Amino acid sequence: MNLISIYDQLLGLFGHRNWWPAETPFEVVVGAILTQQTKWENVEKAIVNLKEKGLLTADGLAEADIEELEGLVRCTGFYRQKARRLKDISRFFSMNPVILETPTYELRDVLLSLKGIGHETADSIVLYAADKPKFVIDAYTKKMCKCMGIDGDYTELQSLFEGSLPKDVPLYKEFHALIVEYGKRFCGKKMCGECMLVKIDY
């Protein structure tokens, strides 16, 4: 068993996931912050709220009233943090309009320097907003790997995936989306342990 065959199995099971739903790269950035530790359905509501107020731009969010912002993103939890961080990060994007064109590793470091953006969020932005090949590792990826006998921290797992897969942006996007779908259905559920992804060579 290798990662490509895992990918093929998951694609056969779930089909294409159509990630990341967004009209603009900046909407991906906003969604990446808002989706932290919450369900995507809650994020969709907040995105709609922001769009209705015409606030889904870097300039708009950078200048938005913080209390209004808190109300609009309340449904995503941690709403005070997220409102504050969203505003600060938007100000950075507003002052650096072409930041997403920065080469992969430099972009990643820049994003990581912003408060509210950790490894997963940075890589989500690099992959889904900037269309650059960085494999996103999330809690489901770690669980899935652990079930397959692979234990490692974020960087180790990312190196494993990036070293075992062709540097293909659409593949990275689809694979991560499929792993999340897999995790939502199996990891931590009653079916956990009956999953077909038992052993992997790497």
Partner DNA sequence: ACCCAGGGTCATA
Partner DNA sequence: TATGACCATGGG
Alpha helices in 53-168 (DSSP H): 58-63, 66-72, 79-95, 104-112, 119-124, 139-147, 154-164
d(CA 114, CA 191): 39
Nearer residue to DNA within complex by CB, 146 or 184? 184
Helix 3-14 / helix 154-164 crossing angle, nearest 10 deg: 90
- One residue of 6, 31, 55, 90 binding DNA per CB under 7 A: 31
Rg of the chain on CA atoms, in Å: 17
d(CA 124, CA 98): 17
- The answer to the question of residue 171 lying near DNA (CB under 7 A) is no
- The answer to the question of residue 51 lying near DNA (CB under 7 A) is no
Task: Please give the size of the binding site for DNA, defined by CB under 7 A.
Answer: 40
Least Å distance, CB 33 to DNA, is 8
- The answer to the question of residue 138 lying near DNA (CB under 7 A) is yes
Q: Which helix (DSSP H) or strand (DSSP E) does residue 34 occupy? A: helix 25-34
Least Å distance, CB 149 to DNA, is 18
- The answer to the question of residue 188 lying near DNA (CB under 7 A) is yes
Nearer residue to DNA within complex by CB, 37 or 103? 37
Nearer residue to DNA within complex by CB, 2 or 155? 155
Nearer residue to DNA within complex by CB, 6 or 46? 46
- One residue of 53, 78, 87, 99 binding DNA per CB under 7 A: 78
The structure tokens listed for 117 are 């953006």
- The answer to the question of residue 124 lying near DNA (CB under 7 A) is yes
- One residue of 122, 129, 178, 200 binding DNA per CB under 7 A: 122
- Residue carrying the six token digits 């995507």: 40
CA distances for 195 relative to 9, 23, 144, 145, angstroms:
12, 35, 10, 12
Contacts of 81 by beta carbon, 8 Å cutoff, 6+ apart: 116
Residues that bind DNA (CB under 7 A): 19-21, 31-32, 35-42, 74-75, 77-82, 114-122, 124, 128, 138-140, 153, 180, 184, 187-188
